[in-house]
Structure 1
Amino acid sequence: MTLEFKLQAWPIVLNTLKIAWITKKAFFNVISLPTFILLVYSALIFKYANNIGFPLALLSMGVLGIGLSWLAIICHRLVLVSDFKVYNNFDFRMGVRSAKFLGMLFQVFIVVSLVEAIVFMSTLFMFNRNLPSIGLEDVKFWIKLFSHVVGGYITARLSLVFPAIAIDKKVSLKWSWVITRGNGFNMFAIVCLFPLFFNFIITMLWRENATDIENAVLSIAMFFVTAIEVIALSLAFKEFESFYSQ
C-alpha cells in the first residue's frame, strides 16, 4: 500500500488539549464513577494480593484489566461515536469489546517485549564484541533506553487497533502497521512523546511517605491523563479513517 496521507502530529496535540478542556465536564461525568470503582478495586487488590493466593490474585488482575479496557473503550467511543455526548455505556457488547481490547493489548505487549529484548541483546553484543575495553555498565542504560525507544515506535505503529476495536472494526496488528506506514514518527510523537510530558509531571509529584489522600489524588490524575492520551489517539485514528473513507 502506498500511503499518501501525512499525519500532522502538532495539530492533533493542540486539538487534544483544546478538546480535553472544552469537554472536561462531559468526560468527568462519564468516567468519574468507573474511575473511582477501578481505583478502589485496584487498591484492594494490591493490599490483599499476598493473602488471597496466586490463582485468585491472577483472576483479580484479569478483572482489573477488563475494567481498564472498558474505561479506555468508553473514552474512545466518546470521541469516535457519541461526539462527547453521554451514551449508553452498558450495552452488552461492551464486555466483548473489553475482552478483545485486552487480548489485543496482550498481543502488542508480547510483540514489543520481544523486539525490545532482541534490540537490547543484539546492541549489547555489538558493544561487547567490538569494544571489549569499554565499561558496559556505563552504556547499558543508553542501550536499554534505545531499546525502549524502538519499542515505543513499534507500539505507536500498532496502536490504531485500540480505537478500531472500540468502534467494532475488525482489525489486526498488521493492519495498523500497514496503515501507519510513512507516519511512524508522527504516531510516535502522539502516542509516546505527548504523554511523556504529563507523566513526567505526575512522577515528579510522587514522593516517599505520601499520605493516602495524596496518592489517591495522583492516581486520579493518572486516569485523567490517560483519558487525554486516548483523545489524542482517537483523533489520530479519525484522521486516518477520514482519509481512507474518501
Structure 2
Amino acid sequence: MKALLLPLVAYALLDAIDHMETGSFIIGISSVLSSAFATIIAVTTHRIILLGPDSVSKWGFFNWGVRETVFALHIIALIFFLFFCGFIAKSSYTATFSILDLNSVPWKLLVYIPLIITFVIYVVAFWVIGRVSLAFPAIAINQGVSFRYSWKLTRKHQLLMFLVVIAFPVCIWIPIYLLGKIPYTASVVSVLSLITMVFEIAILSVTYKAIYELEDGS
C-alpha cells in the first residue's frame, strides 16, 4: 500500500547505512531514525488492518505525535525488561563461579545450573512479552490500552500469544539470518526482513482483533 511505501523505503535506506562502514556517530543517528520509522511502519500497519486504509493518509504518517511516542516508550520498556533479564542471567553465572570449587568434579556438574536458570529466565521473559504485546495494536488505534490490560486480555490465550509473538517470528527469522551469511545477499535479506516485519505486525493486529472481539464482545 502507498501508506507504507515511503516509510519502508526510508527504513531500508537507513538500514543500508547501518551496514556500511561509516562513523559511529552516523550509525547512531541512522539507528535512531530507523527505530522511528519502524514505529511509524508498525502504527500504520496496525491502523490499516484494524481500522481500514482510510484511517491513514494516502502516503502514510510522517508526523510524530503522542501516539507514536507512547508506542515507542512501550517498546523501550520491553527492551529494558530484556536487559534486566539478561543482567539476572549473567549474575547467576557470576554467583556460581564465585561460590563453587570448579576443581571438584561434583561441583563441575553444578556449572550447568546457570544454564538452566538462564533458559528459564528467558522463557519467562518471552512469555511475558507475548502476554503484553496486544498493547501495541491498541495504542496504534488510540485505545490507550496498557501492558496491564493486555495481560488481562490474554489470560486465556497465553499459548497463542507465545506462538504469535515469539515462536512464529523465530521460525521465520532463522532462515533469513542464515541467508544473510551467504555473500552478496544483503539486498535480498533487507527486502525479506521488511516483508517479514510488516507480515508479523499484521498478524499481531489480526490476533488483537480476534481476542478483543472474543473477550470484550465488541
Correspondent of 1:235 among 182, 206, 210: 206
In structure 1, the partner of 2:126 is: 152
Mind listing any 5+ residue stretches in structure 2 that lack a counterpart? Answer: 101-105
Q: Residue 77 of structure 1: CA displacement?
A: 1.4
User: How do residues 1-246 of structure 1 correspond to structure 2 at under 5 angstroms?
Assistant: 26=1, 29-47=2-20, 49-50=22-23, 53=25, 58-82=28-52, 87-88=56-57, 89-90=59-60, 95-118=65-88, 121=91, 132-134=107-109, 136=111, 143-208=117-182, 210-211=183-184, 214-243=185-214, 244-246=216-218
Between the aligned partners of 1:142 and 1:206, the Cα distance in structure 2 is 30
Q: Residue 61 of structure 1: CA displacement?
A: 2.8
Q: Residue 59 of structure 1: CA displacement?
A: 4.4
Summarize deviations over 1:15-40 as a string: whole Å, max 9, x none: xxxxxxxxxxx4xx543432222111
- CA RMSD between the two structures: 3.1
Between the aligned partners of 1:204 and 1:60, the Cα distance in structure 2 is 24
Q: Residue 43 of structure 1: CA displacement?
A: 2.0
Q: Residue 170 of structure 1: CA displacement?
A: 1.0
TM-score, normalised via structure 2 length = 0.79
DSSP-derived class of the 2:108 partner: coil
Between the aligned partners of 1:57 and 1:201, the Cα distance in structure 2 is 26
Report the residue type matching 2:137 in the other structure. P
Higher relative contact order (CA 8 A, sep 6+): 1
Summarize deviations over 1:173-202 as a string: whole Å, max 9, x none: 222122212322221011111112211221
Between the aligned partners of 1:194 and 1:46, the Cα distance in structure 2 is 26
Summarize deviations over 1:56-110 as a string: whole Å, max 9, x none: 654443222111100111111121011x678415467654332221111001222
State the aligned residue count: 210
Q: Residue 140 of structure 1: CA displacement?
A: 5.1
In structure 2, the partner of 1:15 is: none
Q: Residue 147 of structure 1: CA displacement?
A: 2.7
Report the residue type matching 1:172 in the other structure. S
Which of structure 1's runs of 4+ aligned residues deviate more than 6 A? 126-129
Identity of aligned residues (%): 22
Q: Residue 143 of structure 1: CA displacement?
A: 4.4
TM-score, normalised via structure 1 length = 0.71
